[in-house]
């Protein structure tokens, strides 16, 4: 919801009574009974500032003195929703708010504004104690990370799951970390202020995020004395992290230590895979963004890149080495590196063999989530004109009366009838001789032509007359696997026109959008917000 930048129209520091009301509205929105003894932490003493967004938006923000957004009210009607920042600092509120747990690769898409899909959600989120309820406010977590990174309203409940299964959209996101709401105070997004495992590209489980840190800590128990020499055993730089390490069956009890050469190879493989994904038009690109959004997601599945364990020690050093090889062009200004050119045709890039990466896993999850579903803008709707035989025309094909026919099927049915009954004119093959059945099918009984019924007609004229006597149907397929159900009547295209009301006010009328999967009420609200109309 806050993916785009917004403007504010003013702010007001709230007094004690108004602050108390904000707390009560916050508890009510979270489904918590109002209790004066609720163990507030940050909100107990925080000075709250009320900020209104510029018209036509009615959204209200509640921040602290440092511009950290604590909560927001989308419609300005008292439905106060806590921000991710507030949930980090309010353990009691966090524990009361129901959770929606997703897989780590899914967070890559959620951070970019996508809504959670049910295939990417852990089924433990829907439990007996906390079943899904439509409209219920839930915080979004990554499996293995105790801190939420998004919040939204549920779109499904138990009945919906029973009908459609574990498919479809699970939630409508209201706010996610790193969106424009979080950027109101850029200091809060510094790495030192973020929970463990939070990156701008993906939210990681705690055990994965802590690998690099753990590898830098000296293990005292690994130091042994042998004569006058001190042997220091270095811990593994990367560790394979499975879904459940307790169930590993001790098959890799003595997991080998990755050498520095292995870590260099892992980093280079991820880099070359990213080079195959990036577009030349993406340059110039900040080196930090290239590493976070492309190199890290392109690492092989189940691995973790530990730059400090490589011979390069720093990404900046690694990119300088790649630049010396001619793979990329890098410029540096005030300590900030920028990649100005990607050479995708470089021999080292061409020789790289693609591997299955974390990015592939995330794409597969997204594809599974949207499989068999209508995704706006993904497919062009396919409109097909259909026909059914009427009482007068069914003699041409009695078996197909209840079948919806394409124009090609009608033509084939007519040609078969003409050939079976020998109605092709012997001297003029382009003409068709009309028998009694064909005449009744082409002309209504009460509307005899002024010149009488013809003995013969051009084959194309016969087809046109027959189609005009059939009952029209049509079908609209929004995506390839959608079941097609014929609808009675001619196809009506979307109609957009502008008129003047009785008070001479211009209004825009948009008709016939329901057949394309668009909700008129939702479209009306979006149009009013986008074009500031009423």
Which CATH number does the domain housing residue 469 bear? 1.10.245.10
DSSP string, 470-495: SEEEEEEESSTTSPP--EES-----E
* Cα(139)–Cα(30) distance, integer angstroms: 10
DSSP state of 298: T
**Domain boundary, last residue among 209, 242, 276:** 209
Does 264 have pLDDT greater than 80? yes
**What's the average model confidence in pLDDT over 193-200?**
85
Does 139 have pLDDT greater than 90? yes
Q: Which of 40-54, 370-384, 469-483, 513-527 has the lowest mean pLDDT?
A: 370-384
**What's the average model confidence in pLDDT over 116-141?**
88
For residue 29, what are the domain limits? Answer: 1-209
248 part of a folded domain: no
**Residue 141 has what pLDDT?**
94
Report the CATH number at residue 286. Answer: 1.10.10
191 and 275 within one domain:
no
439 and 326 within one domain:
no
**What's the average model confidence in pLDDT over 15-21?**
88
Does 34 have pLDDT greater than 90? no
104 and 142 within one domain:
yes
**Residue 232 has what pLDDT?**
38
pLDDT band at 191 (very low <50, low <70, confident <90, very high): low
214 part of a folded domain: no
User: By three-state DSSP, how is residue 51 classified?
Assistant: strand
* Cα(176)–Cα(196) distance, integer angstroms: 16
386 and 359 within one domain:
no
**How many CB atoms are located within 10 Å of the residue 203 CB?**
31
45 and 150 within one domain:
yes
163 part of a folded domain: yes
**What's the average model confidence in pLDDT over 206-221?**
48
pLDDT band at 30 (very low <50, low <70, confident <90, very high): confident
**What's the average model confidence in pLDDT over 215-243?**
38
**What's the average model confidence in pLDDT over 82-102?**
91
Q: What is the distance, to the nearest Å, from the Cα of residue 66 to the centroid of all Cα atoms in its chain? A: 32
386 and 362 within one domain:
no
Does 216 have pLDDT greater than 50? no
28 part of a folded domain: yes
512 part of a folded domain: yes
Instruction: State how many domains the chain has.
Output: 4
pLDDT tens across 302-325, in order? 888 888 889 999 899 999 999 999
**Residue 219 has what pLDDT?**
40
**Residue 501 has what pLDDT?**
86
Q: Are strands 456-458 and 431-433 parallel, antiparallel or unpaired?
A: antiparallel
**What's the average model confidence in pLDDT over 477-487?**
80
Report the CATH number at residue 134. Answer: 3.10.400.20
**What's the average model confidence in pLDDT over 375-393?**
78
Report the mean per-residue pLDDT for the chain. Answer: 81
Q: Are strands 471-477 and 382-388 parallel, antiparallel or unpaired?
A: antiparallel
* Cα(257)–Cα(187) distance, integer angstroms: 38
* Cα(534)–Cα(206) distance, integer angstroms: 48
* Cα(430)–Cα(438) distance, integer angstroms: 16
**Residue 317 has what pLDDT?**
92
**Residue 248 has what pLDDT?**
40
What does residue 96 show for φ and ψ, rounded to 5 degrees? Answer: -85, -25
Q: Which of 30-34, 196-200, 339-343 has the lowest mean pLDDT?
A: 30-34
61 and 203 within one domain:
yes
- Tracing tokens 């890559």 back to the chain, one arrives at 108
**Residue 249 has what pLDDT?**
41
440 and 415 within one domain:
yes
**Domain boundary, last residue among 303, 336, 367:** 367
Does 343 have pLDDT greater than 60? yes
42 part of a folded domain: yes
Q: Which of 225-234, 377-386, 425-434, 465-474 has the lowest mean pLDDT?
A: 225-234
Quick one: residue 169, left, alpha or beta (phi over 0 = left, psi -120 to 50 = alpha)?
A: beta
Structure tokens, 157? 């409940």
Does 125 have pLDDT greater than 70? yes
- Tracing tokens 């995506």 back to the chain, one arrives at 479
pLDDT band at 35 (very low <50, low <70, confident <90, very high): low
For residues 249 and 144, which has the higher predicted lDDT (pLDDT)?
144
If you compute the radius of gyration of the chain from its CA atoms, what whole number of angstroms results?
33
449 part of a folded domain: yes
362 and 325 within one domain:
yes
**Residue 532 has what pLDDT?**
65
**How many CB atoms are located within 10 Å of the residue 221 CB?**
6
pLDDT band at 77 (very low <50, low <70, confident <90, very high): confident
359 and 389 within one domain:
no
Tally of residues, the chain = 534
What does residue 396 show for φ and ψ, rounded to 5 degrees? Answer: -70, -25
**How many CB atoms are located within 10 Å of the residue 200 CB?**
15
Structure tokens, 276? 């195959």
**Residue 221 has what pLDDT?**
37
**What's the average model confidence in pLDDT over 92-100?**
90
**Domain boundary, last residue among 367, 401, 424:** 367
**What's the average model confidence in pLDDT over 95-121?**
89
Does 231 have pLDDT greater than 50? no
**Cβ(357)–Cβ(274) under 8 Å?**
no
**Through-space distance between the first and last CA atoms of the chain, rounded to whole angstroms:** 20
pLDDT band at 410 (very low <50, low <70, confident <90, very high): confident
114 part of a folded domain: yes
pLDDT band at 250 (very low <50, low <70, confident <90, very high): very low
**Residue 209 has what pLDDT?**
54
- Tracing tokens 């008709």 back to the chain, one arrives at 511
Show Cβ contacts of residue 94 under 8 Å, excluding neighbours closer than 6 positions. Answer: 87, 88, 139, 148
**What's the average model confidence in pLDDT over 379-386?**
84
State percent of the chain over pLDDT 90: 20
Does 37 have pLDDT greater than 50? yes
**Residue 326 has what pLDDT?**
93
Maximum average pLDDT range among 41-50, 219-228, 515-524: 41-50
409 and 301 within one domain:
no
**Residue 373 has what pLDDT?**
57
* Cα(117)–Cα(109) distance, integer angstroms: 10
139 and 2 within one domain:
yes
């Amino acid at each position: 919801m806050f993916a785009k930048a917004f403007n504010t129209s003013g702010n007001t520091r709230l007094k004690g009574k108004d602050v108390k009301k904000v707390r009560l509205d916050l508890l009510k929105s979270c489904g918590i009974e109002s209790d004066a003894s609720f163990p507030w932490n940050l909100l107990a003493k925080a000075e709250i500032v009320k900020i209104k967004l510029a018209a036509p938006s009615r959204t209200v923000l509640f921040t602290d003195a440092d511009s950290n957004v604590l909560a927001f009210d989308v419609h300005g009607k008292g439905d106060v929703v806590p921000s991710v920042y507030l949930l980090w600092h309010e353990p009691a509120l966090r524990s009361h708010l129901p959770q929606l747990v997703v897989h780590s690769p899914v967070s890559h898409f959620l951070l970019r504004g996508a809504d959670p899909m049910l295939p990417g959600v852990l089924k433990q989120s829907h439990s007996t104690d906390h079943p899904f309820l439509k409209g219920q406010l839930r915080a979004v977590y990554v499996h293995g990370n105790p801190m939420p990174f998004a919040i939204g309203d549920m779109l499904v409940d138990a009945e919906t799951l029973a009908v459609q299964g574990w498919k479809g959209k699970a939630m409508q996101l209201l706010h996610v970390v790193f969106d424009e709401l979080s950027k109101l105070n850029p200091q809060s997004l510094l790495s030192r202020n973020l929970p463990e495992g939070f990156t701008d590209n993906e939210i990681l489980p705690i055990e994965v995020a802590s690998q690099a840190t753990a590898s830098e800590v000296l293990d005292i128990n690994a130091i042994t004395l042998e004569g006058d020499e001190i042997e220091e055993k270095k811990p593994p730089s990367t560790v394979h992290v499975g879904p459940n390490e307790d169930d590993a069956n001790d098959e890799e009890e003595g997991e080998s230590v990755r050498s520095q050469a292995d870590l260099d190879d892992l980093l280079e493989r991820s880099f070359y895979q990213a080079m195959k994904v990036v577009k030349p038009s993406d340059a110039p690109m900040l080196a930090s963004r290239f590493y976070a959004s492309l190199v890290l997601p392109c690492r092989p599945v189940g691995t973790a890149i530990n730059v400090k364990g490589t011979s390069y020690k720093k990404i900046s050093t690694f990119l300088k080495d790649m630049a010396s090889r001619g793979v990329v062009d890098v410029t540096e200004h005030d300590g900030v590196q920028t990649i100005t050119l990607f050479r995708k045709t470089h021999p080292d890039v061409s020789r790289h063999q693609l591997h299955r990466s974390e990015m592939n896993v995330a794409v597969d999850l997204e594809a599974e989530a949207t499989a068999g579903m209508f995704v706006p803008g993904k497919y062009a709707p396919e409109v097909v004109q259909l026909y059914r035989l009427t009482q007068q025309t069914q003699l041409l094909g009695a078996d197909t009366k209840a079948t919806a026919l394409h124009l090609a099927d009608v033509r084939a049915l007519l040609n078969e009838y003409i050939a079976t009954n020998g109605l092709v004119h012997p001297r003029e093959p382009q003409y068709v001789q009309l028998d009694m059945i064909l005449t009744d099918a082409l002309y209504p009984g009460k509307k005899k032509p002024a010149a009488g019924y013809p003995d013969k007609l051009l084959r194309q004229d016969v087809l046109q007359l027959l189609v005009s006597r059939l009952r029209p149907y049509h079908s609209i397929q929004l995506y390839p696997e959608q079941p097609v159900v014929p609808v009675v009547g001619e196809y009506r295209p979307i109609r957009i026109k502008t008129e003047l009301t009785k008070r001479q006010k211009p209004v825009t009328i948009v008709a016939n959008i329901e057949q394309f999967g668009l909700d008129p009420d939702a479209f009306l609200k979006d149009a009013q917000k986008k074009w500031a109309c009423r």
